[in-house]
Amino acid sequence: MILVALYVITTYLSFLGIIVMNVPLLKWILLPFIEVFFDLSYYMGSFLSHFAMRISLENLLVLYVPILLLVFLLYRKEKFKGIVIVILLIFAMEIPHGPALTIYNKFGTPYIRVTQNFKNYDIMDYRVAENDMISLRENQEILLDGHVILLKLGEKKRDIPIIYIDGQELNLERNLDYIRGLRQERKYFFINKKIMRIK
């Protein structure tokens, strides 16, 4: 988590160096540092690419206004440690933790995200599935924290798949309204053999 933040910082510093290279005096002073940041950015990116864990910033897409206001207020009060803590908390929130089952609405098309072992698996009806999604073609059983999840295709291609948890069907609407963008419809956490609905 800290390595990702460091990689982002070093990458942006190297890009910032390119912008200030037009000023001759700054170019002479900063050139050695810029080369070091470029090398550091390359090696950190190469190192981090070996990790399979994904960090998605979906919560940041929804909560960016209050987060920006909080960072701005901390900056105005010169609480730089607070800014670092907020950034680290955002990264911690975005790490896929689970096991969890989430239903999303993406431009009116539903898909299911199963989170397990710090990885996300996105499942969508094969009739509308996108390239990076797992196609749901037939009944699919998934074991999450000792619970058996059964996914069945909906009647229409834009219907939410029928979901059973331990043989009991979830009470879900079949159709989703068209929205512009991505929205989380439902989220279930599986903790100590219990099911907790978050949304």
**Rounded distance between C-alpha atoms, residue 6 and residue 132, angstroms:** 28
Read off the pLDDT of residues 115-170 as tens digits, 9 standing for 90 and up. Answer: 888 788 889 988 888 888 888 888 889 888 888 999 998 888 888 889 999 888 88
The burial of 40, by beta-carbon neighbours within 10 Å (0-12 exposed, 13-18 middle, 19 or more buried), is given as middle
What crossing angle do the helices spanning 58-76 and 80-94 adopt, rounded to 10°? 170
- pTM listed for this prediction: 0.60
